[in-house]
Amino acid sequence: MRAQTGGATVGHLNVGDIRKLNVTPMPVDADHQANVAEVLGSIDDLIENNRRRIELLEETARAIYREWFVNYRYPGHEDVPMVDSALGLIPDGWEVQPLAAIATVNGSSRKPGGDEVFRYLDISALSERHIGELEAIGGSSAPGRARRVVSPGDTVWATVRPNRRAHALLVAPDSDWIASTGLAVLTPSTVSPDFLFETSSATAFSDWLVGRATGSAYPAVRAKDFEEAPIVVPDVAVDAAFADKVSPMHDLSWRLRNECSRLAALRDLLLPKLVTGQIDISTLDLDALVARQVA
């Protein structure tokens, strides 16, 4: 359908082009159609169940962050007095510091080798707290912006249109990932990855970025804007307790997202083979296929 799309500004298909599209014939036998639908529907159900679990995990992590670091009702808060700061009252012993005091911004860069194949993390793959599928690219055809080195525990933020809040925690990126220079890579230095991610996911942080953005058509922020963002930094014990509670949620959410991607790939692989009879549905062991796919 993309190949038939016309229009320089807004791509579109006309009715004549749609009528000419070749499609795989469906099996005539209604029982076979129902069996195919049942198999594929089972995979879709697994994907949807994972997505609901991800939503619950994400909301729980955000709720704990708000309770501990916005409302300051963290374990033991009753015994800690509140003191004045540049950002209002904060617990005694906590500090307001620029993000540069707790994290490095864009700490490492490299140019992909000509014969290297890597997966490119671009702005288009990033949305709020989520990373989509990454395109595999050969080094010889790598975009000039493919430079940022990313590591487990980094948080990535899109520098263009910060109001979109396109950012994510890289729990376990593969070693072949390279990010675009259109992303800011935040690497924690004195706080946990979980605190850095959740504090940069807070509305106050994105509001700071929006206030610092320049440019009318494509408002953007610089590394310096991230570095100067004011952060209420908790004491070490509270940060460690927060990471102990929230890190397993981030880890499971990451695994479930990967599982969704593999299940979707399995579904798309099975669809034409089941419809055309290349795979005998009566001998298909779906449970074993799914287990291998998500292992």
pLDDT at 53 over 90: yes
Strands 82-83 and 90-91: antiparallel
pTM: 0.85
Mean pLDDT, residues 273-292 taken together: 73
- Contact at 8 Å (CB) between 227 and 144? no
Q: What CATH number labels 97-233?
A: 3.90.220.20
Mean pLDDT, residues 159-185 taken together: 97
Q: Where are the domains of the chain?
A: 34-94+247-295, 97-233
Q: Which of 137, 132, 184, 139 is nearest to 157 (CA)?
A: 184
The pLDDT of residue 26 is: 61
Question: Could you report the per-residue pLDDT of 58-106, keeping only the tens digit for each?
Answer: 999 999 999 999 999 999 999 999 999 999 999 999 999 999 999 999 9
| pLDDT class of 6 with cuts at 50, 70, 90 | low
| pLDDT class of 25 with cuts at 50, 70, 90 | low
As a dihedral over the C-alpha atoms of residue 136, residue 138, residue 142, residue 148, rounded to 10 degrees, the angle is 60
